[in-house]
Amino acid sequence: MEKYQHQKIEKKWQKIWQEKKLFQAEEGAKKKKYYVLDMFPYPSSEGLHVGHPKGYTATDIFSRYLRMRGYNVLHPMGWDAFGLPAENYALKTGVHPAVSTAKNILNIRRQIKSLGFSYDWEREISTIDPEYYKWTQWIFLILYKRGLAYEAEVPINFCPSCKTGLANEEVVGGKCERCGSRVTRKNLRQWLLKITAYADRLLKDLDHLDWPEKIKIMQKNWIGRSEGTEIKFPIPNSPLQISVFTTRPDTLFGATYMVLAPEHPLVEKLTIARQKDQIRKYQEETRHKSDLERTDLIKEKSGVFTGSYAINPVNDEKIPIWIADYVLLGYGTGAIMAVPAHDQRDFEFAKKFDLPVIEVISSSGKAHKKIKKAYEGEGILINSQAFSGIKSDQAKKEITDFLIKKKLGKRAINYKLRDWIFSRQRYWGEPIPIIHCKKCGAVSVPEKDLPVKLPEVKKYQPTGTGESPLANIKEWVETKCPKCAGPGKRETNTMPQWAGSSWYYLRYLDPQNKKEAWSKKREKYWMPVDLYVGGAEHAVLHLLYARFWHKVLFDAGYVSTPEPFKKLKNQGLILGPDGEKMSKSRGNVINPDDIIEKYGADTLRMYEMFMGPFEDAVAWDAKGVEGVSRFLQKVWRMVYGKNFAGNEPDKKTAIILHKTIKKVTEDIEAFKFNTAIAAMMVFVNEMLNTPEKITKNFIEKFLLILSPFAPHLAEELWENLGHKDSIFKEKWPAYDPKLIKEEKITLVIQINGKVRDKIEVTSDIDEKEAKKQAQASVKVQKFIGNKEVKKVIFVPQKLINLVV
C-alpha cells in the first residue's frame, strides 16, 4: 500500500484547484451569498508567521463548508503593501521599496498557497498597485469634497537632528528611535480627516454589530463620549473669558483655581509682566513632553501662576489662573476649573502650591474635618449656598440651568476621539491628490488624471524641512493648477498606511473594474462582509477607520450598508513553545515552512485548529503536531486502496456517523474547530475497532466532513475511492436526527452520591424522564422507599443523582 506522502498530494491538488478555478466566486448567480474576509497581511520580509494560518485556516474551513452548503462564497486575499519597513530598508540600502516589496509578496504568496487555502486568486489586490491606489485617491477626494479633509497646523513629534516628523511609535522614552535625540513638538501643516463628525454614529452603530464585546468596548472608550457643561469664567475688568469643559458642574462652588494648558492662546494675554519669564520657561519645558507623560497620574504636579484671576460665575469669588501641563490643549476647551476636594490631580496640585481645598460634595451630606484625598464620587452638595442639600445628579441640571440663564454656560458633549492626522512626510505611500495654487488654494486633481503616481526618487532621506522626499523632485512637484491653469504645486505629503486598508474589502468585489472603484450591482449583492476574521490588535484603529470611510461612502451613495463588517471574530495568539509571545530575540519562533515540509499543510492546518479554542492564546506544542500527523496517517491507512463492501452501514455504526456529522456541522458554525476535530478523532478510533463494518457510502460521508479541515488528504482519498470530480463539488452531508435519537447510552443512577444502578436510555433523555425511569428501577426503590426526593442533579448523557 502506498504511504501518505503529503508533499506529493498537496502540490498535486493545489495545482488542480488552481487550474479548475474551483473556488471562484460567481457573479450574477441567484444563489445566496456569503462574504468571508481575512485581514490581509503586510508583506514583511520575514514572511508568514504561524499566527497567520490560524485565522486563515478558520476562514478556509468555513468557506469550504459554506460552498458545500450551496452558498456563493467570496473569499479573497491581497496585500497591504505600503509601509515603513520597506521605506526604512530603502533608506539603509537604496533598494527601491517597490522592489523589496515585490520580492516579499512573492514569498508570502508562495507560503499562503502552500497551505491550500481556497481563495479566489482572480481577485488578488495590492494596495501599492496604481490601479488600486487610484481609487484610494478617489475616496480621499470624496472626503475632501464633502468637507471631511482639511489642512491645519498640528503639533507633531519632531526630531530636530533628523529634521523629520515622527509617528508616536517612533518616539521611545521621549527620544527619536533612530538617532536618540530629544524629540520636540512642532507645528506642521498636515491633512486631517474629520472623523469626529462621525463620532456619534460610530458609537451608536456598534450596537447592531455581531462583534466581540471586548472590541466594542475598546472602540467605545476610544471614541470616549462624555456629557457635561461648558462654563465661562469672566476676567475682571476685561472682555476676556475662560471657557472650561466639566463633567461635574455640581462641584462648581469648590473651584478654587483655574488651569490653562500651557499652549492655550489666552496664556499670552493673561500673564502679567512679572510672571512672563517663568511662564515662558515652563511652556518651553512642556514642548518636550508627550501627552502621555503629561497626564501620567503618578507624576509630580508642576505649574506656574499667570498673575491673573477669574470670577467664579456662581459665587463671584476671585480665583487665580495657573498654567500646568496636566491640562491638555486638545481636550475640551484646553482649560479647567480645578476642584481640589473632588479631583485627585487638582488635590495634589493644590497641596503642592498651597491653594485652598473646599469640600462641596459629601456622601453623607456632612462635612469632613480633614481631607486627605479627593472624594471623586457623587453625593449631596454642601457649602454650595442655595444648592446645598441637593444630590449631584439634580445639582448638575440646576447649576447648568442657572448658568444658561446668566449666559455663562451651556450643555456640551465632548469626545476623546480626535480628527485623524492623515498626512505623512514619507515617500512610500499614496500621494495625496491635491494641487496647491496661489490663486485657487488646494485644488483636487481631476478624476481623469488619477492616479497621481508615485515618482521615482534618488534619495529616500526626508528633506529636513519636515517635508517628504517627494518635495525634492522639482519636475514632479511643479505642475499646472487644474482650475486656472496657472502654476501649481503638488502636495508632497503621502497617506498613512491605514488608507489602503480602509476600503480594500470593497475592491475585492470588482478588482478589474477600470471605470469605477466597484460596480453598484456587485456592491449590492456582496456587501456587507458577513464574517471578518483577524487579530484583536486591530480593534481600534483599522476597524474604526474602515467604518468611518464606509459611512462616508454610504452618505455619498456609493455603498448600500451603513456598516462594512457584520460579524467579527478574533483569533487568539499562538505563543512560542515556552508560553511566551514569539519573537526573534527570544528565539522561540516557529516557521510554518518547516512544519509544512516535515508534516504537510493539512497537519499544520489541523493542528492550529486543534490547539485550543479559536479565541484563546495557546502555546505551540511539538507533540500536538505529531499527534495530528498520526491521526491523518491513520485516516489514510483506513481508506487508501481499500475495497469497501456494501453501501449502508448497520444501525449502530450509522448512529456513530450521524452523531459525528451533527457535532462537526454545529462546531464549524460556532467556530469550535477544536472540538469538531476531537469528535472526528473519536470517530476514527471507533471505526478502527470494527473495520469490517465500514462501507463505502459511510466512509465517503466521513471524508466530506473532514475535507474542509484536511482538504488535500480528503481530496486524494476521494479520488482513490473512484471519484472523477472534486470532493468540493459535493454537498455537505446531512444527519438524520431520528437516528441520533435512537442511540442508547448508559445512564448512571446515584442515590445521595452513591452508584445504585445503571440503565439503558436514549441519548436525548431529559431530566424529567431520567428521574421517572430512575425511580422506576427496582434497585433504586430499595434505597428510596417512601422518602421524598429533595434534589436532582442531572448530567446529560451521563448520570442522575437523587438526593433523599
Residues forming contacts to Zn ion in the complex (CB under 5 A) are: 437, 439-440, 481, 483-484, 486
Which residue from 425, 83, 385, 384 is spatially nearest to 248, judged by alpha carbons?
384
Question: What number of other Cβ atoms are within 10 A of residue 736's Cβ?
Answer: 14
CA 793/CA 804 separation, integer angstroms: 12
Q: Candidates 70-78, 324-332, 488-496, 581-589 — which segment interacts with ligand ANZ by CB under 6 A? A: 324-332
CA-to-CA separations, 203 to 143, 185, 195, 549, in angstroms, rounded: 20, 31, 12, 15
Residue 493 Rama label (left phi>0; alpha psi -120 to 50; beta): beta
- Residue closer to Zn ion, measured from CB, 484 or 795: 484
- Residue closer to Zn ion, measured from CB, 151 or 555: 151
Q: Are 473 and 52 in contact (CB under 8 A)?
A: no
Query: Which of 53, 332, 576, 711 is in the footprint of ligand ANZ by CB under 6 A?
Result: 332
Q: Candidates 2-10, 306-314, 329-337, 462-470 — which segment interacts with ligand ANZ by CB under 6 A? A: 329-337
Which residue from 69, 64, 114 is spatially nearest to 706, judged by alpha carbons?
64
CA 121/CA 23 separation, integer angstroms: 8
Q: How many residues bind ligand ANZ (CB under 6 A)?
A: 18
Pattern 213-252, ligand ANZ, x by CB under 6 A = -------------x------------------xxxx--x-
Question: What number of other Cβ atoms are within 10 A of residue 547's Cβ?
Answer: 23
Least distance between ligand ANZ and beta carbon 402 (Å): 16
Q: Are 303 and 282 in contact (CB under 8 A)?
A: yes
248 binds, among ligand ANZ, Zn ion, none (CB under 5 to 8 A by kind): ligand ANZ
Interacting residues with ligand ANZ between 406 and 435 (CB under 6 A): 414
- Residue closer to ligand ANZ, measured from CB, 105 or 324: 324
Does 337 engage in binding with ligand ANZ (CB under 6 A)?
Answer: yes
Does 286 engage in binding with ligand ANZ (CB under 6 A)?
Answer: no
Q: Give the SS3 label for residue 134.
A: helix
332 binds, among Zn ion, ligand ANZ, none (CB under 5 to 8 A by kind): ligand ANZ
481 binds, among Zn ion, ligand ANZ, none (CB under 5 to 8 A by kind): Zn ion
Least distance between ligand ANZ and beta carbon 342 (Å): 3
Query: Which of 195, 336, 533, 727 is in the footprint of ligand ANZ by CB under 6 A?
Result: 336
Which residue from 616, 799, 651, 802 is spatially nearest to 738, judged by alpha carbons?
651
327 binds, among ligand ANZ, Zn ion, none (CB under 5 to 8 A by kind): ligand ANZ
Least distance between Zn ion and beta carbon 487 (Å): 8
- Residue closer to ligand ANZ, measured from CB, 345 or 658: 345
Does 116 engage in binding with ligand ANZ (CB under 6 A)?
Answer: no
**Extended beta strands in 265-384, E state:** 304-311, 318-323, 335-338, 361-362, 380-381
- Residue closer to ligand ANZ, measured from CB, 340 or 600: 340
Q: Are 191 and 151 in contact (CB under 8 A)?
A: yes
Least distance between Zn ion and beta carbon 440 (Å): 3
Q: Are 215 and 171 in contact (CB under 8 A)?
A: no
Least distance between ligand ANZ and beta carbon 231 (Å): 9
279 binds, among ligand ANZ, Zn ion, none (CB under 5 to 8 A by kind): none
Q: Candidates 272-280, 304-312, 326-334, 565-573 — which segment interacts with ligand ANZ by CB under 6 A? A: 326-334
- Residue closer to ligand ANZ, measured from CB, 247 or 383: 247
Neighbouring residues of 53: CB distance < 8 A, sequence distance ≥ 6: 115, 592, 604, 605, 608
Query: Which of 52, 67, 342, 396 is in the footprint of ligand ANZ by CB under 6 A?
Result: 342
Q: Candidates 183-191, 278-286, 330-338, 462-470 — which segment interacts with ligand ANZ by CB under 6 A? A: 330-338
CA 566/CA 546 separation, integer angstroms: 13
- Residue closer to Zn ion, measured from CB, 487 or 612: 487
- Residue closer to ligand ANZ, measured from CB, 157 or 414: 414
Residue 797 Rama label (left phi>0; alpha psi -120 to 50; beta): left
Least distance between ligand ANZ and beta carbon 264 (Å): 9
CA-to-CA separations, 355 to 321, 341, 597, in angstroms, rounded: 11, 11, 71
Least distance between ligand ANZ and beta carbon 408 (Å): 15
337 binds, among ligand ANZ, Zn ion, none (CB under 5 to 8 A by kind): ligand ANZ
437 binds, among Zn ion, ligand ANZ, none (CB under 5 to 8 A by kind): Zn ion
Length of the chain: 804
DSSP 146-193: TT-EEEEEEEEEEETTTTEEE-GGGEETTEETTT-PBPEEEEEEEEEE
Residue in the block written with cell 511662564: 279
Least distance between ligand ANZ and beta carbon 104 (Å): 42
- Residue closer to ligand ANZ, measured from CB, 331 or 525: 331
- Residue closer to ligand ANZ, measured from CB, 308 or 414: 414
CA 223/CA 196 separation, integer angstroms: 9
Question: What number of other Cβ atoms are within 10 A of residue 272's Cβ?
Answer: 11
Grid cell locating 763:
441519548
483 binds, among Zn ion, ligand ANZ, none (CB under 5 to 8 A by kind): Zn ion
Query: Which of 38, 230, 343, 563 is in the footprint of ligand ANZ by CB under 6 A?
Result: 343
CA 253/CA 275 separation, integer angstroms: 28
Which residue from 333, 272, 265, 345 is spatially nearest to 304, judged by alpha carbons?
272
**Residues near ligand ANZ, by CB under 6 A:** 226, 245-248, 251, 261, 327-328, 331-332, 334, 336-337, 339, 342-343, 414
